[in-house]
């Protein structure tokens, strides 16, 4: 019973950890995409 009690919070922590990692990855790639758009916009205007 102790193992099951420990296993449930560990699985919840793993899910929270993965969700936070995916959120930070999507947030980071969103910032990179915005920076790329802002960098390519002047190039398109210049061309």
pTM (whole model) above 0.75: no
Each residue of 1-47: pLDDT tens digit? 566 666 667 788 888 999 999 999 888 888 888 877 776 666 565 55
Distances (CA, A) of 31 to 1, 14, 26, 41: 45, 26, 9, 15
Distance CA(25)–CA(33), nearest Å, equals 12
Q: Which pLDDT belongs to residue 21?
A: 93
pLDDT at 13: 86
Q: What is the pLDDT of residue 6?
A: 66
Provide the 3-class DSSP secondary structure of residue 15.
Answer: helix
What is the structure's pLDDT at 18?
92
d(CA 29, CA 18): 16
């Amino acid at each position: 019973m102790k193992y099951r009690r420990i296993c449930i919070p560990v699985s919840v922590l793993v899910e929270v950890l993965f969700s936070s990692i995916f959120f930070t990855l999507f947030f980071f790639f969103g910032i990179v995409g915005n920076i790329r758009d802002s960098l390519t916009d002047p190039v398109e205007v210049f061309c």
